[in-house]
Amino acid sequence: MRRTNWLLRRACAGLLVSALGFFAHRAPAAVSGEVVIGVIQALSGPNAQQGINAQRGTELAAEAINERGGVRALGGAKIRLITSDVPTPNTAAEVTQRLISQNNVSAMIGTVNSATTLAASEVTERGGIPLVTFAFADQITERGYKYIFAVSPKGSTFGEAQLNYTIAIARAAGENITKIGILYEDTAYGSAQAKGLRLAAAKTGVQIVMDEAYPQGITDVTPLVNKLRASGAQIAFPVSYLNDSLLIIRSMRQQQLNTPVVGGAAGYVLPDFRKGLGDLAEGILSVAAANSDLMPDFAAKYEAKYGTFITHDSLMHAAALDSVVQAIERAKSSDPEKVRDALATLDYCGGFAKGVPGGCVKFDATGRNASAFPVMVQWHGDRPVTVYPPQAAKQKAIWRGKPTS
């Protein structure tokens, strides 16, 4: 027993010393001739699919930028990405802090998840590092923060588009929409979009006969489907991540509820959506921030490398990275302060910004990309195609099985 104790004491001390020794080790300062950009994404956990897509888009864009000459204003400096996994919002602050303290980043990019972005941005704001994100939630750009930029429209804008575009498509097919049901996951993303849906419904006089929030990790959606059926809604507008989107569609089909579904991006536009549902996915509409058919060359490159079609996560993050690079070019410096100032006045319509509907990245005073607008996509075959609005549409929408005029 005493010998065990002696051994254990040494073991404890040893472990502690090595842990402390780890801290004494500092990451090397940035090599001149390169620009370090931090990336935070959920690479594990429930949102991993989207995080990985975003990560890939960012990397591919970085490769492309480096190939065409890197950052010219800094003598062709190459972009180096340092990525950290943030599976849940409550690890975000810590991970971001660690990334910033141990590396000389000029800017940060990420995440796809609104709640995680909110948490991470608290750190970047205090640390004076600009963060460019794709996450939707309105709150992200409504806090008066100076170091946060979002390349996509607000969540409520997506919500409004989700309803307004649907009304337009239905009208073209001769149907009038009067009663709708909305069901949404209850974190920042779902709530923001639900708000938008309500706004649009109020403006167009559409009645919301079902309005239900559900917990993000829900495993049994039967009560939701029952409520939907009982409400008599003509169309269902769910706002979900991947897992819940699969559950909802399957459950509806299983309970033989054939109400048309217009999804709220996130889960509804992922390759795994189609993999999980097979033919059930056909014809499902969803609002989205961007789509593969808006940037066919890049999309083809992505698909060749990764085997699945490119999602809006990847496209928008490529645009985010490109904006940061452009900001560095214009500021002629990789200092975070100067990069931030350059981002605030950016008006960029080239490179990967072309993948954003509207073709440009131009941040307004709150940090939102004011020139971007949502698109409506529909599943045809193994991928979504853009069907609305007309200036971005590649194909006509199919409503209740019939092509619209």
Partner 1 sequence: MRPAITPAFVLFVLFVVAASLLPLGFDPRGHVLRVAAMALLFAATAQAWNIVGGLANRISLGHAGFFGIGAYSSTLLYLRLGVSPWIGLLAGAALAAIAAALLSLPTVRLQGHYFALATLAFAQVLQVIANSWPGLTGGPLGLSIPFAGSQPLKFSFRTVSSYYWIILALLVVSCAVFHLLATGAIGYRLRAVRENEQAAEAAGVDTARVKLIASVVSAALTAACGTVFAQFTYYFDPDSIFSLPGISVRMAMIVIVGGLGTLGGPIVGALFLIPLEEASNAVLSSKAAGLSQFAFATILMAAILIQPRGMMALWPKRWSAGAKLTVERTSR
Partner 2 sequence: MTQALIDGILLGGVYAVIALGLSLVYGVVGIVNFAHGAFLMLGMYVSWFAWRHLGLDPLAGSVLSFGAVFVLGYLVQRALINRVLAAPPAAQIFLTVGLLIAMENGALLLFGSDFRSVSVPYQLQGYQIGGIFLSAPYLYAFISAIALGGVLELYLARSWTGRAIRAVAQDPMAATLAGVDIRRTYARAFGLGVALTAFGGGIILPYITVSPTIGGQYVVLMFTAVVLGGLGSVRGALVGGLAVGIIQSLSALLFSIQLENLCLFVIFITVLSLRPQGIVKGM
316 contacts 134 by C-beta, under 8 angstroms: yes
- Looking only at residues 27 through 46 of this chain, which bind partner 1 when binding is defined by CB under 8 A? 43-45
Instruction: Report if residue 53 touches partner 2, rule: CB under 8 A.
Output: no
Helix (H, G, I), strand (E, B) or coil at 289: coil
Helix (H, G, I), strand (E, B) or coil at 34: strand
- Looking only at residues 188 through 207 of this chain, which bind partner 1 when binding is defined by CB under 8 A? 188, 191
Instruction: Report if residue 90 touches partner 2, rule: CB under 8 A.
Output: no
4, 18, 32, 256: which one contacts partner 2 (CB under 8 A)? 256
106, 152, 187, 366: which one contacts partner 1 (CB under 8 A)? 187
Establish how many alpha carbons lie within 13 A of residue 128's alpha carbon, considering only the half-sphere containing its beta carbon.
6
147 contacts 340 by C-beta, under 8 angstroms: yes
60, 119, 129, 310: which one contacts partner 1 (CB under 8 A)? 119
Instruction: Report if residue 142 touches partner 1, rule: CB under 8 A.
Output: no
Please choose, out of 41-49, 295-303, 317-325, 394-402, the segment that lies near partner 2 by the rule CB under 8 A.
41-49
Instruction: Report if residue 74 touches partner 2, rule: CB under 8 A.
Output: no
| Residue of 144, 28, 129, 35 whose CA lies nearest to 81 | 35
72, 126, 275, 332: which one contacts partner 1 (CB under 8 A)? 126
Q: How many residues bind partner 2 (CB under 8 A)?
A: 31
Place of tokens 């403006």: 203
Instruction: Report if residue 124 touches partner 1, rule: CB under 8 A.
Output: no
Helix (H, G, I), strand (E, B) or coil at 172: helix
Instruction: Report if residue 141 touches partner 1, rule: CB under 8 A.
Output: no
The pair of structure tokens assigned to 339 is 């990069």
218, 344, 370, 385: which one contacts partner 2 (CB under 8 A)? 218
For residue 77, the 8-state DSSP code is B
Instruction: Report if residue 237 touches partner 2, rule: CB under 8 A.
Output: no
Q: What is the dihedral of CA 5, 7, 12, 17, to 10 degrees?
A: 140
Closer by beta carbon to partner 1, 64 or else 93: 93
* Angstrom distance (rounded) from CA 308 to CA 91: 29
* Angstrom distance (rounded) from CA 197 to CA 261: 14
Distances (CA, A) of 182 to 194, 216, 220: 7, 15, 17
Closer by beta carbon to partner 1, 76 or else 223: 223
Distances (CA, A) of 36 to 82, 127, 224, 332, 400: 7, 16, 46, 15, 49
- Looking only at residues 206 through 235 of this chain, which bind partner 1 when binding is defined by CB under 8 A? 213, 215-216
Please choose, out of 57-65, 113-121, 225-233, 258-266, the segment that lies near partner 1 by the rule CB under 8 A.
113-121
Closer by beta carbon to partner 2, 246 or else 361: 246
* Angstrom distance (rounded) from CA 232 to CA 375: 27
223 binds, among partner 2, partner 1, none (CB under 5 to 8 A by kind): partner 2
Q: Which residues of 175-211 are buried (b: 16+ CB within 10 A; e: fewer)?
A: eebeebbbbbbebbbbbbbbbbbbebbeeeebebbbb
- Looking only at residues 156 through 215 of this chain, which bind partner 2 when binding is defined by CB under 8 A? 186, 212-215
Measured from the CB of residue 324, what is the shortest distance to partner 1 in angstroms?
Answer: 22
Instruction: Report if residue 238 touches partner 1, rule: CB under 8 A.
Output: no
8 binds, among partner 1, partner 2, none (CB under 5 to 8 A by kind): partner 1
User: Cβ–Cβ contacts within 10 Å for residue 68, how many?
Assistant: 9
* Angstrom distance (rounded) from CA 54 to CA 116: 14
Measured from the CB of residue 326, what is the shortest distance to partner 2 in angstroms?
Answer: 34
Per CB under 8 A, residues contacting partner 1 are 4-5, 8-9, 12, 15-16, 18-20, 22-23, 43-45, 48, 83-85, 87-90, 92-94, 97-98, 101-102, 115, 118-119, 122-123, 125-126, 137, 139, 143, 145, 186-188, 191, 213, 215-216
Per CB under 8 A, residues contacting partner 2 are 44-46, 48-49, 87, 186, 212-215, 217-220, 222-224, 226, 242-243, 246-247, 250, 253-256, 272, 276, 278
